[in-house]
Amino acid sequence: MNCQECHDYIDAYIDNELDVAATIQVKQHLRACVECQQLLEARKAVQALLGNPQVSFEAPDSLLGKIQSVLPVARSDVKQRSRSRFVIPFPRFSVPLALAATIAIMLGLVYLTQRGMFDRSRGTALAQEVISSHVRSLLATHLLDVPSTDQHTVKPWFDGKLKFAPPVHDFAEHGFRLTGGRLDYFDGREVAALVYQRRLHLINLFIWPSASGHNTAAESFTKDGYNVSHWDRDGFSFWAVSDVNAEDLRAFADLAMQQS
Amino acid sequence: MNDEQTRARFETLLLPLMNDAYNLARWLMKNQEDAEDMVQESYLRAFRFFASFHEGTNCRAWFLRIVRNTCYTELGTRDPKHKQVPLDSEIDEIEDTSPLPSVRLSQKTTVAAVREAIAALPVDFREVVVLRELEGLSYKEISEVSGVPLGTVMSRLARGRHQLHLLLSDRKQHDQL
């Protein structure tokens, strides 16, 4: 590879967009050419300056409301919706009816559990809950209870708030900066949520004690446009969810698995 | 799916992208008020096209393309000159051979200076730089959003970064004087 070709490829090289063969060629050329090394340094310097999250503009708080008001189909907002669920009129016979329904559902669950079907549908429901929780954390102001980039601040914060001590690690040097943690609640239990930042994107990592205690390989999938990765390790269940691309989330899952 | 479900699904998929949309619009329009208008207009358009959105499509690229086109349409009606942007080939054939200054970029350069430099880029370069460096899109996604081929994405990004380096090192020299 000559200098001109190296110039043509240098941007794709730093963006990890080259195939393996071309990457090796660029690397070989860089080892031998001081000028191209300087170009690489210059590109990285620009990238580092633009990598500061403050360079991006954040939407004003009022924008969400404006958007919701211009969208057609008047729909009550999330809060009102969940409230309306509780004002279903209760006729007098509803208690025995509810009791009967509960028993029927319980019998059904016992049947499903025995058939081994429950776990699978529970996995899907859990994935949905994990994604909903991720979306909620982005929309509401409840993203962080303890905003800190220091794992030694975040970890003790969970002490006394949870019955377990989640593993907390920062992966800033790999491009996944710990920005804090919060308590979340789903699947009938309290869970730890660690929030990481990848460029402008947030990753929620949910952690709670696993039921089985076995270690499992990471299982990754995409649902509703979100990438989700899930694994069990050292007695904990881990669920990572984000809108970063699948590759980045896998890299994140690998890092988290190595650490725990 | 009834109207309420459609709207709920639309909100779940697209409202979390509001900051991405705003950031792109803000950089293309260069002011807050226009950016807000463009984002609202984009959500309205996206809702209208939502029926054509298929499960498995890259939602972010799909929506940012709408935002991008909404902004370009507006810029085009304001300034007809903008419509006569030179063809891709013309822009991309202009060789930018000015050598990079040997000064190292100070990593203490202020956010304001960095923003000013990005704003000074021609819109076609600015767009690609913002999508890559601030939004973290892959080349393929940038190509989808901007509707230009991969090779053009690559050369615009190279040109954009090169100009940024020149602008920011000029700045440094000024600061030192």
Averages of pLDDT over each 10 residues, chain A, 260 residues: 90 92 93 93 92 92 88 51 41 63 70 52 74 74 73 84 89 89 81 88 91 85 87 92 90 88
Bridge partners, residue A228, by sequence: A221, A241
| B118·A198 Cβ contact <8 A | no
- Alpha-carbon gap, residue B51 to A86, rounded angstroms: 32
> Within 10 Å of residue A5's Cβ, how many Cβ atoms?
14
Tell whether B108 and B79 lie within a shared domain.
no
- Chain B residue numbers with beta carbons less than 8 Å from the beta carbon of A43 are 161, 165
| A70·B135 Cβ contact <8 A | no
pLDDT value of position A56: 94
Tell whether B52 and B110 lie within a shared domain.
no
At B175, the pLDDT band (50, 70, 90 cuts) reads low
Tell whether B137 and B158 lie within a shared domain.
yes
- Mutation site, B126, B132, B141, interface A, largest A CB count within 10 A: B132
CA pseudo-torsion sign A51, A52, A57, A62: positive
Q: Which domains does chain A have, with CATH numbers?
A: 3-50 (no CATH), 123-259 (3.30.200.100)
Closest of A223, A220, A145 to residue A184, by C-alpha:
A145
| B104·A47 Cβ contact <8 A | no
User: Which of B15, B105, B118 is opposite residue A45, by nearest beta carbon?
Assistant: B105
pLDDT value of position B100: 73
pLDDT at B131 over 50: yes
User: Which of B7, B13, B136 is opposite residue A200, by nearest beta carbon?
Assistant: B136
CATH number at residue B64: 1.10.1740.10
If one compares B15 and A103, the residue with the highest pLDDT of the two is B15
Tell whether B79 and B93 lie within a shared domain.
no
| A73·B135 Cβ contact <8 A | no
Domain count, chain B: 2
At B163, the pLDDT band (50, 70, 90 cuts) reads very high
Tell whether B70 and B116 lie within a shared domain.
no
- Mutation site, B5, B45, B162, B170, interface A, largest A CB count within 10 A: B162
Backbone angles phi, psi at B92, to 5 degrees: -80, -10
Closest of B147, B26, B47 to residue B88, by C-alpha:
B147
At B172, the pLDDT band (50, 70, 90 cuts) reads low
Residue finishing a domain among B62, B83, B104:
B83
**A vs B: CB pairs below 8 A:** 139
- Chain B residue numbers with beta carbons less than 8 Å from the beta carbon of A47 are 133, 161
pLDDT value of position A43: 93
- Mutation site, A8, A34, A56, A136, interface B, largest B CB count within 10 A: A56
Q: What one-letter code names the amino acid at A36?
A: C
- Chain A residue numbers with beta carbons less than 8 Å from the beta carbon of B39 are 59, 63, 67
Q: What one-letter code names the amino acid at A219?
A: E
Question: Distance, in angstroms, between B27 CA and closest chain A CA?
Answer: 8
pLDDT value of position A189: 80
Tell whether B92 and B172 lie within a shared domain.
yes
User: Which of B58, B114, B136 is opposite residue A55, by nearest beta carbon?
Assistant: B114
Tell whether B15 and B40 lie within a shared domain.
yes
- Alpha-carbon gap, residue A171 to A175, rounded angstroms: 7
Tell whether B110 and B71 lie within a shared domain.
no
Tell whether B57 and B72 lie within a shared domain.
yes
CA pseudo-torsion sign A200, B134, B12, B25: positive
Residue finishing a domain among B34, B56, B83:
B83
CATH number at residue B140: 1.10.10.10
> Within 10 Å of residue B51's Cβ, how many Cβ atoms?
8
| pLDDT tens digit sequence for B102-121 | 667 777 778 999 999 999 99
Domain that holds residue B166: 88-176
User: Which of B23, B59, B138 is opposite residue A57, by nearest beta carbon?
Assistant: B23
pLDDT at B81 over 70: no
DSSP result, B109-140: --HHHHHHHHHTS-HHHHHHHIIIIIT---HH
With a cut of 0.90, is the ipTM above it? no
- Chain B residue numbers with beta carbons less than 8 Å from the beta carbon of A11 are 154, 157-158, 161
Tell whether B96 and B171 lie within a shared domain.
yes
Bridge partners, residue A237, by sequence: A208, A232
pTM (2 d.p.): 0.59
pLDDT value of position B65: 95
Tell whether B49 and B114 lie within a shared domain.
no
Tell whether B103 and B162 lie within a shared domain.
yes
Residue finishing a domain among B43, B59, B83:
B83
